[in-house]
């Protein structure tokens, strides 16, 4: 069993380019990648999606990716001295004509349009793609390891609640036959209090049979037992089992509701309330199972 909550990071440097990939995952019905890349590295999107998809099958994944050039500058600075000279001469002429100080400095001159230009160095896409693959694989591997560890705790918690549900189901099984017997006894006592003479045993048995049929929950209890066994098998399974477990927990809740509506008994009603509480706790946890 694997959780859908995890975090992982990978950093790889190749041919002077460094790629860092951070992944954060939470629960989701399907595999949903949130990836926004700057235009200059948009070509990496397909690579990232493919590498994540190989290791992560379900969950919302936030992807944070950066590409840097740690060794040397990734940009080239060019200057135009002749244009700078023209700016300087113009400043001198204005100063002389207007009789104002010439405060043109080198730093101000460099800010003049066209004097200094910044050119981005050409990116080695093959090297960046290779580094991106390795970094994404490393990050996804860390995510998977964390999700596996979280899955162990998730499994233990689900097992605790599932065992509690099984105990409550057994208590309902023990109580169910007593409901009809108690109804028969109450009916007989009521008839005695009313001094109803001549009540036919056949008529009494028929009335009791009607009530027994109305509150019969054998089928629901049998299906609930089957669902609990299946859920135990899922706890030991691998792969994408979250959707199956989610469907099964809905069926368990359906059986619990039916039992509560059919068995008009205070003791069973309390067991059903406790049972539904355990089922709801499992349902919340199952939302995070891959």
Q: What is the pLDDT of residue 60?
A: 96
Q: How many domains does the chain have?
A: 3
Looking at the structure, do residues 45 and 63 belong to the same domain, yes or no? Answer: yes
Q: Torsion-angle region of residue 223: left (phi > 0), alpha (psi -120 to 50) or beta?
A: alpha
Looking at the structure, do residues 137 and 156 belong to the same domain, yes or no? Answer: no
Q: What is the pLDDT of residue 17?
A: 87
pTM of the model: 0.69
**Tokens of residue 107, six digits:** 């730093």
Looking at the structure, do residues 42 and 156 belong to the same domain, yes or no? Answer: no
Q: What is the pLDDT of residue 208?
A: 52
pLDDT tier at 210 (50, 70, 90 boundaries)?
A: low
Looking at the structure, do residues 116 and 159 belong to the same domain, yes or no? Answer: no
Looking at the structure, do residues 205 and 280 belong to the same domain, yes or no? Answer: yes
Looking at the structure, do residues 56 and 141 belong to the same domain, yes or no? Answer: yes
Measured in degrees and rounded to the nearest 5, phi and psi for residue 78 equal -120, 145
| CATH number assigned to the domain comprising residue 137 | 3.30.230.10
Lowest-confidence segment of 75-79, 152-156, 207-211, 275-279 by average pLDDT: 207-211
Selection from 207, 206, 245, 252 nearest residue 225 by Cα:
252
22, pLDDT greater than 80: yes
Looking at the structure, do residues 100 and 159 belong to the same domain, yes or no? Answer: no
Looking at the structure, do residues 139 and 41 belong to the same domain, yes or no? Answer: yes
- Residue pLDDT, tens place only, 157-208: 999 999 999 999 999 989 888 776 666 666 556 655 555 555 556 655 565 5
Residue 113: helix, strand or coil by DSSP? coil
Looking at the structure, do residues 208 and 229 belong to the same domain, yes or no? Answer: yes
Q: What is the pLDDT of residue 166?
A: 96
Q: Measure CA 10 to chain center.
A: 21
Rg (CA), the chain: 37
Q: What is the pLDDT of residue 74?
A: 56
Selection from 160, 168, 166, 129 nearest residue 235 by Cα:
160
Q: What is the pLDDT of residue 141?
A: 96
Q: Which domain holds residue 196?
A: 150-286
Looking at the structure, do residues 199 and 81 belong to the same domain, yes or no? Answer: no
**Tokens of residue 145, six digits:** 């390891």
Taking all residues of the chain, what is their mean pLDDT, rounded to a whole number? 86
Q: Where are the alpha helices (DSSP H) in the chain?
A: 45-55, 81-98, 106-110, 125-193, 201-214, 218-235, 242-262, 266-286
Looking at the structure, do residues 154 and 268 belong to the same domain, yes or no? Answer: yes
Sheet holding 17-26, edge to edge: 6-14, 17-26, 59-68, 31-35
Looking at the structure, do residues 112 and 173 belong to the same domain, yes or no? Answer: no
- Residue pLDDT, tens place only, 234-283: 999 888 899 999 999 999 999 999 988 887 788 989 999 999 999 999 99
């Amino acid at each position: 069993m694997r959780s859908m909550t995890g975090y992982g990071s990978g950093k790889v440097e190749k041919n002077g380019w460094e790629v860092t990939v951070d992944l954060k995952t939470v629960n989701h019905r399907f595999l949903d990648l949130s990836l926004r890349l700057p235009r200059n590295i948009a070509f990496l999107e397909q690579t990232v999606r493919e590498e994540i998809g190989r290791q992560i099958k379900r969950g919302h994944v936030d992807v944070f990716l950066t590409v840097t050039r740690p060794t040397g500058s990734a940009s080239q600075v060019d200057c135009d001295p002749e244009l700078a000279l023209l700016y300087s001469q113009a400043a001198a002429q204005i100063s002389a004509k207007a009789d104002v100080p010439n405060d043109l400095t080198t730093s101000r001159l460099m800010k003049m349009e066209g004097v200094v230009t910044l050119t981005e160095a050409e990116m080695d896409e093959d090297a960046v793609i290779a580094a991106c693959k390795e970094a994404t694989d490393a990050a996804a591997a860390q995510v998977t390891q964390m999700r596996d560890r979280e899955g162990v705790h998730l499994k233990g918690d689900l097992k605790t609640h599932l065992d509690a549900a099984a105990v409550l189901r057994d208590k309902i099984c023990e109580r169910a036959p007593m409901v009809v017997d108690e109804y028969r006894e109450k009916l007989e006592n009521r008839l005695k209090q009313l001094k109803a003479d001549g009540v036919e045993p056949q008529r009494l048995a028929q009335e009791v049979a009607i009530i027994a049929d109305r509150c019969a929950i054998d089928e629901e209890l049998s299906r609930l037992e089957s669902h609990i066994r299946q859920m135990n098998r899922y706890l030991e399974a691998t792969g994408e089992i979250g959707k199956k477990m989610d469907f099964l927990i809905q069926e368990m809740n359906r059986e619990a509701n039916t039992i509560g509506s059919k068995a008009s008994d205070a003791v069973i009603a309390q067991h059903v309330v406790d049972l539904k509480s355990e089922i709801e706790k499992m349902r919340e946890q199952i939302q995070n199972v891959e």
